[in-house]
Amino acid sequence: MRIGILGGGQLGWMTILEGRKLGFEFLVLDKSTSSPACKISDLCFDYEKVDEFVKLCDVITYEFEHIPDEVLEKTSYLTLPSVEVLKLKKSKVEEKVFLRKRGYPVPNFTVATNEDLERAADMFELPVVVKSESLGYDGKGQYLIKEKGKLKDVKSNHPQGRFLVEEFVDFDFELSIIGVRNAKGEALIYPPTINHHEEGILIYNKSTDLAFPEAKEITKSLIEELNIVGLLCVEFFYTKDGKLLINEIAPRAHNTGHYTLDGSYTSQFENLIRAITGLPLGSTKLKSPSGMINIIGKSYEEMDIRKVLSVDGAKLYWYGKEKRYRRKMGHVNVVGSSQEDVERKLEYLYDVLFESLKC
């Protein structure tokens, strides 16, 4: 059976690494044929060859959101999770409006155009968070506005398109939950993780002994409501007064689930493959306390591999991408005998990997 992947980044790369073990072949469609997943695929196509790509695939999935509409039109009939969910996700505005309409807890927000951005920001106390409607990820297109004068820069950076203007959530911490569901409607939920971001980008995350039953219920409910066949990640803020608010959802493998490669009985990537090919889902249980730390904006030579691998239970995943400022270049998974043990290892790796990073 041949599985097509839209997008050639690290999520596709790890999906292929895991899916090969199950005996599948992989075809990748990406704008660049030198992307990590393309390099290890059976066949790789650029966007112009989409017709050829579709003809050869039995089922298609995606590993990032920003796929051109012309490509989606040609691939949608084979694509899981459905392209409708992906379209919702392509607009930060539509995503939040959908969640609020359906009664899910989200931060207070309003929608603005370039012309009425000031008026929209006036609806909340400063600071506010302004997010451009599309093409924003890892904190791109996102602005923390502490004084109204700064809105001018936002407007000139984004002359077109709408904005989401959100109250600033003074959260205690962030968490996320990943769920997987197959076409029969069987669904399983991975345990929650606590996530640490800096300047809009995930730095590390770790398993937790806390259960967060409400967050699990929300994830289960969304996965059903969106009729997901594949994965859904839900990212939450946990506010200082103990409330859960959804920050965003992602109908694909997620950076906060990379730890599952080493910490879980079945990785998120293997379960994605199982779900979209109609196989039984694998256990989402943790084998041991686990964590993950990203490697950001560093070349292979700049990363001290000896120090990284000296950590007992550490596994390096290097994506083979060209170094760029703030770019995710790889990650390290850690497992430990206890939560504290994992935290100690992450602290050590943070010092090794981030001592000189400005991100």
Site for ligand AMP in 257-316 (CB under 6 A): none
CB of 238 to ligand AMP, least distance (A): 12
Q: Which stretch binds ligand AMP (CB under 6 A): 19-27, 131-139, 151-159, 250-258?
A: 131-139
Kindly identify the residues of this chain, within the stretch 169-208, that bind ligand AMP according to CB under 6 A. 169, 174, 197, 200
Q: 200 or 230: whose CB is closer to ligand AMP?
A: 200
Q: Which is nearer to ligand AMP, 107 or 297 (CB)?
A: 107
| Choice from 54, 129, 246, 273 touching ligand AMP (CB under 6 A) | 129
Per-residue binder mask for ligand AMP (CB under 6 A), 83-122, x = binder:
------------------------x---------------
Least Å from the CB of residue 240 to ligand AMP: 12
Q: Among 58, 66, 116, 139, indicate the residue that binds ligand AMP (CB under 6 A).
A: 139
Tell me which of 63, 166, 262, 270 binds ligand AMP, using CB under 6 A: 166
Q: Site map for ligand AMP, 141-160, x if CB under 6 A?
A: -x------------------
- Using the contact rule CB under 6 A, the part of the chain among 22-30, 162-170, 218-226, 282-290 near ligand AMP is 162-170
d(Cα 249, Cα 225) in Å, to the nearest integer? 13
Q: How far is the CB of 104 from ligand AMP (least distance, A)?
A: 15
Stretch that binds ligand AMP, among 16-24, 30-38, 163-171, 206-214 (CB under 6 A): 163-171
Choices 148-156, 165-173, 325-333, 351-359 (CB under 6 A): range interacting with ligand AMP: 165-173
* Rounded to 5°, angle at Cα 269 from 276 and 236: 100
Supply the minimum distance, in Å, between the C-beta of residue 80 and ligand AMP: 24
CA separation for the pair 252, 178 (Å, rounded) = 9
Nearer to ligand AMP, 133 or 248 (CB): 248
Query: Interface residues for ligand AMP in 61-90 (CB under 6 A)?
Result: none
Rg (CA), the chain: 20
Nearer to ligand AMP, 53 or 124 (CB): 124
Beta carbon nearer to ligand AMP, 65 or 174: 174
Q: How far is the CB of 288 from ligand AMP (least distance, A)?
A: 26
Q: Does 248 bind ligand AMP (CB under 6 A)?
A: yes
Indicate the residue among 38 and 234 with the shorter CB distance to ligand AMP.
Answer: 234
User: How far apart are alpha carbons 292 and 285 in whole angstroms?
Assistant: 17
Neighbours of 269 (CB within 10 A): 24
Q: How far is the CB of 29 from ligand AMP (least distance, A)?
A: 25
Number of residues that bind ligand AMP (CB under 6 A): 14
Peptide bond connecting 81 to the previous residue in cis, omega within 30 degrees of 0 = yes
Place of tokens 């959530």: 169
- Order of strands across the sheet that contains 43-45: 43-45, 25-29, 2-6, 59-62
Binding site for ligand AMP (CB under 6 A): 107, 129, 131, 136, 139, 142, 166, 168-169, 174, 197, 200, 247-248
